[in-house]
Amino acid sequence: MSTGSPVGSHRVVSPAGALPQAADRLDPDPRIADDEVRIRVERLNLDAASYRQLHTAHGGDGDAIRADVRDIIERRGKMHNPVTGSGGMLIGTVDAVGPRSPLGLKVGQKVATLVSLTLTPLHIDDRLEQWDGRSEQVPTSGHAILFARSIAAVLPDDLPEHLALAVLDVCGAPALVRRVVARRADPATVAVIGAAGKSGSLSLAAARDAGAATVVAVVRDEIEDARLRWAHLADDIVIADATDPLRLARKVDKALDGRGADVTVVCVDVPGCEHGAILSTATGGTIIFFSMATSFSAAALGAEGLAADVEMLIGNGYVPGHAEYALDLIRGNAHLKDLFIDRVGEES
Amino acid sequence: MSTGSPVGSHRVVSPAGALPQAADRLDPDPRIADDEVRIRVERLNLDAASYRQLHTAHGGDGDAIRADVRDIIERRGKMHNPVTGSGGMLIGTVDAVGPRSPLGLKVGQKVATLVSLTLTPLHIDDRLEQWDGRSEQVPTSGHAILFARSIAAVLPDDLPEHLALAVLDVCGAPALVRRVVARRADPATVAVIGAAGKSGSLSLAAARDAGAATVVAVVRDEIEDARLRWAHLADDIVIADATDPLRLARKVDKALDGRGADVTVVCVDVPGCEHGAILSTATGGTIIFFSMATSFSAAALGAEGLAADVEMLIGNGYVPGHAEYALDLIRGNAHLKDLFIDRVGEES
């Protein structure tokens, strides 16, 4: 094979002209193009929404779930759940590197892919027989292909694998928060809504790291409050329902002496948080929406209807250097690391 | 009545605690609070999607459409189509101004509201009898309420009313384009996708006005190409299908000598334009999505999957001074004005 398309369109079988994510079917031919990388797959981490759908559809029958996933991969050449539209990530070892690959990977490195399985050519050769279908973690063997514009992170050897994966899964958030907070002319006030979760707690740490003046954590209840309190990641912790816009904004305002936040970060994965985030943000401020439950039109019409001069960013999961930055935040902050270990639990 | 909530939550009848847009029902009591404004309504402009839904639901029967709209307004206290979730705008004359209203309006001024009808308390007193139900334009009489944080534009007397309304309807786009283009360190290259429409052509003019280095217009076909060509609003015009990402990006790249655009503006109101916009944008560039057909998750996952370091903005329809800026662009550019007059046709 010669050089491929950097975005992998040469691997699309159908429909013609589509990008890999939009394609029905990819070609997982193990022969790589000059700018591709082949990974020997060890484990798939199915996206939580995808696994939940499969579990429900098959009434929790592990054998049926396994057969369905096998069928999807064999039919589509990728693990792209046609119902949820989501995929997940995979872990494996670099098996072959094309001479013109720009990813900087070396044969033998253990990596996690940071682009979705929905666009990653994948072939399995064990019929998923190592998996009982009862968990999102799918031990398997086979191969996957990375394109020139893919992203993979080398797993660090100083952190437990499950901890590193949990961090890498959300590593776009802290990198974008750092960028937005750091570029403001004056030290910013920052509110993180949904601050007790993975992307939320990393966002708190990134805001501090970027020189925020004040960091306010918004959490759902006393349990999350207690969990965050001993981690010392925020200047103030506020308990509020993110879907109740007026109360949320009042509490954030109060924590910030009557002004809204200069930067508001939304990490709550439930619908209906757009208006609360808009009202919690100061004039001239920026909102970063990381939640996939965000409604584009609710945000756009909401800001207009509230005459809110705020800038609203769609949380892009890719920022150069995002994986290393997120891992460094964990390495440099024992409280944050403990919070993550507490979340990933016995797995690590 | 004393001072109301600046966002109008004191007008919400149900459900309690909601913002006016999310409310089932508003109270259009004509007695205004200290910071409110009452408008004597002359005409409603129903949102195109809303009227299309009503037209289809009633098989084009004007009487049935009229009865349905009357019922919605009487039941909800606002013209908020429960199926499409959309509203429209209204035109009227300022009737009363509370002493603490910050909107700067004076009794007798003719205004258009720039916040959606979905959050504007509205009462009609003519049972819509002046309207035949056969057009989005609804002549009527009644009153509407503006809150402290509402927005209304005084209709200029140097432009035909229909022309001014067509401009005001999309005035958020040029103001945000100007801001994003002007703040870049170097003169930016700009691509406007869907450039022949109202928001698209205003965005072209705003990009030039903000000092863009090169402005590329992307249009659908030869008809739009011809319409734009004599208006001289762009340095180059490209015909491409915005939903075919690879071809779109190739054409934009070619028009910009092999680099993507520093700023890409999406004004095409069809789904599936996210990936093409991402691929058309240079590393470090910004995409502004104005289309309500934009999918938040397609944009977020698309940028991540393409390892694209681009910033993606949700097009906020409110930027301070947006109405005056858009009208000034029209006043200052005879070609742009002709293009708009051509669109609004005989109505003006």
Contacts B118 to A, Cβ<8 Å: 301, 305
d(CA A127, CA A110): 23
Tokens of A5: 């398309």
What is the rounded CA–CA span in Å between residue B274 and residue B88?
A: 26
Residue from the list B151, B244, B304 with its beta carbon closest to the beta carbon of A316: B304
Cα separation, B323 vs A137, in Å, equals 54
The C-alpha R_g of chain A, in whole angstroms, comes to 21
How many residues does this entry show for chain A? 348
Average pLDDT estimate for A128-157:
95
Of B17, B292, B296, the CB nearest to A294: B296
Q: What is the mean pLDDT of chain A?
A: 94
Q: Which DSSP string corresponds to A258-327?
A: TS-EEEEEE---SS--HHHHHHTEEEEEEEEE--TT--HHHHHHHHHHTT---EEEE--S--TTHHHHHH
- Cβ neighbours of residue B92 under 8 Å, at least 6 residues apart? B39, B40, B41, B42, B43, B110, B111, B144
pTM metric for this prediction: 0.92
Reduced 3-state DSSP string for A141-165: EEEEEECCCCCEEECCCCCCHHHHH
Q: How far apart are CA A199 and CA A185, in angstroms?
A: 25
- Partner A, chain B 191-220, Cβ-Cβ below 8 Å: none
Tell me if chain A has a CB within 8 Å of the CB of B223: no
Place of tokens 């009982």: A132
User: In chain A, what is the straight-line distance between the N-terminal and C-terminal CA atoms, in Å?
Assistant: 40
Ranges in chain B, pLDDT < 50: 346-348
- Kindly list the residues from chain A whose CB atom is less than 8 angstroms away from the CB atom of residue B253: none
Question: Domain extents for chain A?
Answer: 9-155, 172-344
What's the token pair of residue B244?
């075919």
Q: Which residues lie closer than 8 Å to A108 by C-beta, 6 or more apart?
A: A93, A94
The CATH number assigned to the domain with range A172-344 reads 3.40.50.720
The CA distances from residue A323 to A130, A166, A170, in Å, are: 29, 11, 9
Of B21, B253, B274, B304, which to mutate for an interface test with A (greatest number of A Cβ within 10 Å)?
A: B304
Output the pLDDT for position A348. Answer: 33
Tell me which residue in B296, B308, B320 faces A296 most closely, judged by beta carbons.
B296
- Decide if A280 touches B, using CB distance below 8 A: no
Kindly report the nearest CA distance between residue A276 and chain B, in angstroms.
10
Query: In angstroms, how far is the first alpha carbon of chain B from the final one?
Result: 40
Instruction: Compute the Cα dihedral for A149, A150, A153, A154 and give only its sign.
Output: negative
Measured between beta carbons, the chain A residues lying within 8 angstroms of B295 are 296
B143-202 residues touching A, CB cutoff 8 A = 149-151, 172
Whether residue A208 has pLDDT greater than 50: yes
Token readout for A168 is 């890498």
For A293, the token pair is 């439950």
In angstroms, the separation between the Cα of residue B219 and the nearest Cα of chain A is 20
For residue A333, the one-letter residue type is N
Q: Return the closest-CA partner of residue B315 out of A272, A181, A307, A313.
A: A313
CA angle B219, B225, B227 (to 5 degrees): 115
Span A176-186, mean pLDDT? 96
CA pair distance A305, B21, nearest whole angstrom: 8
On chain A, the residues whose CB falls within 8 A of the CB of B307 are 115, 149-151, 318
Distance CA(B163)–CA(B142), nearest Å, equals: 24
The percent of residues above 90 in pLDDT, for chain A, comes to 86
Query: Does residue A93 belong to the interface with chain B, where contact is any CB pair within 8 Å?
Result: no
* Whole-number Å distance between alpha carbons of A293 and A267: 10
Q: Which residue of B has its CA nearest to A180?
A: B311
Q: For residue A346, name the pLDDT band (cuts at 50, 70, 90).
A: very low
Q: How many residues does chain B have?
A: 348
Check whether A44 has a pLDDT greater than 80. yes
Quickly count: other Cβ atoms within 10 Å of residue B149's Cβ: 19
Can you read off the two tokens belonging to residue A81? 């759940």
Q: Which residues pair with B237 in a beta bridge?
A: B217
ipTM: 0.91
Give the start-end residues of each E strand in B147-271: 152-154, 189-193, 214-219, 236-239, 261-266
Rounded to whole angstroms, the Cα distance separating A337 from A156 reads 14
- Contact of A309 with chain B, judged by CB distance below 8 Å, is answered with yes
Are the beta carbons of B307 and A118 separated by less than 8 Å? no
- Is A305's Cβ below 8 Å from some Cβ in B? yes
Question: Which strand (E) or helix (H) includes residue A17?
Answer: none
- A317 vs B118, B151, B300: nearest CB: B300
Residue A263 has pLDDT above 80, yes or no: yes
pLDDT tens, A266-307? 999 888 999 999 999 999 999 999 988 899 989 998 999 899
pLDDT value of residue B348? 34
- The answer to whether the beta carbons of residues A190 and A184 sit under 8 Å apart is no
